[in-house]
Amino acid sequence: MSAKAPTLKKIFTPHSTDPMGLHQPTRPIEDCQCIRKETSPGHWQTVVEAPVLTCDCLWRIYQQMAEDIVAPGGVLISDPKERNRQINMAYAKLWLEDHRFQWAGLAAFASKQVGCGLLHANQLIDESKRDIEVRNTLPNWLINREMTASQIGFDAAVMSSSAYMYNMLALGNTTLFLDIYPLHLFYKKRGLDQMKQCLKRRPGIYGNPKFPVMWPISQEILRFGEAKSEVIDGFTAIDSGEIQKGVLFLATHEQINILQKVIYNNFTMQSLLRANQATFVTGFFKHYTEAIQLTFSNQCQPLDDDRTERFSNKVAADLSDPTQRMEFVNRAAVRFNQILHSKMAEMLGKSIFEISQGGGNIQ
């Protein structure tokens, strides 16, 4: 049995460059400009200037398509929750249009789970603000000044750590999307051979003043568009029909080449993740923590069936550790593949379709 979902409007819309050959003129020769050039003193030659479709052009086209999703009109969507919703939708649509893109189907749920984290962090920020405001307005005869100062300090710490987590989750979510979505577009439009030819050219489009690339992280932390072996290995596996193998290669690229550098190497983020894990497992201050898990539905809360994969029940487990995190991600990838070929496949397909339409109960 395989996952099914309602039909979807195609996202791989035609582009004028689609039928054009790589490194070939983009217009008929008769439409090109002829100019006279002096090739040597006293010797002139007629030269035809013809624009040619290059790897750089293609990368700029597909990068722009990704930017249009998170930054319509060239302006980054300011609300990280709405930006996350658009990313979720885009990943879901990739899988719905081409089931070979199983990584994208998995990513739709993983990104949705990031949205759950954003909602939780935002809720804690709002609650802490309200508590501080209430305590600051209490009459003197009602309060114990030492206790109130301690409580305000606690609320301020919760607000600060939640805001940091909120911003880092949004940064990782956006950066990963701008890296990996254009890769899928390039493969779908141009195929594996041209991807192999062009992948090393991708970093070169960064820094062009005429066609600037949106990249939310500094080049010192993560260089834009680096050619990584896991990318070619992943799409090579997809091209040969080894879908699950392709998922694991792309998951390694996602987690190690991108997210490890963007968020998990950050010391403050590491501390917050360790504190969240220990606090959640022990049950202390449980309201302020959230389980690290992946639920294969369009909701945040774990389900009673087999559609939830949890990170760890160990107090000292550390999501920022790449080995521990990859074990979790690989388990999730295997579970996702199992569900796709189980009696729950149709239910899974419907959940992905709902995510693709911006639905679900996480917003």
Query: CA 274, CA 319: separation in Å to the nearest integer?
Result: 7
List the single range of 45-54, 97-106, 156-165, 258-267 with lowest mean pLDDT.
Answer: 45-54
The pLDDT value recorded for residue 17 is 83
Report which listed range, 15-19, 119-123, 232-236, is most confident. Answer: 232-236
Q: Which residues pair with 45 in a beta bridge?
A: 37
pLDDT-based confidence at 1, cuts 50/70/90? very low
Total residues found in the chain within this entry: 363
Give the number of other CB atoms < 10 A from CB of residue 243.
Answer: 16
The pLDDT value recorded for residue 305 is 76
Best CA proximity match to 175, nearest among 267, 85, 87: 87
Query: CA 189, CA 202: separation in Å to the nearest integer?
Result: 16
Where are the chain's structural domains?
Answer: 55-356
The pLDDT value recorded for residue 283 is 83
pLDDT one-digit tens code per residue, 298-334 = 888 777 778 899 999 999 999 999 999 999 999 999 9
Query: CA 316, CA 271: separation in Å to the nearest integer?
Result: 12
DSSP assignments along 65-97, one per residue: HHHHHHSGGG---S-HHHHHHHHHHHHHHHHHH
The pLDDT value recorded for residue 228 is 97
Q: Is the CB of residue 249 less than 8 Å from the CB of residue 237?
A: yes
Torsion of CA 148, 152, 158, 164, to 10 degrees: -170
List the single range of 22-26, 180-184, 294-298 with lowest mean pLDDT.
Answer: 22-26
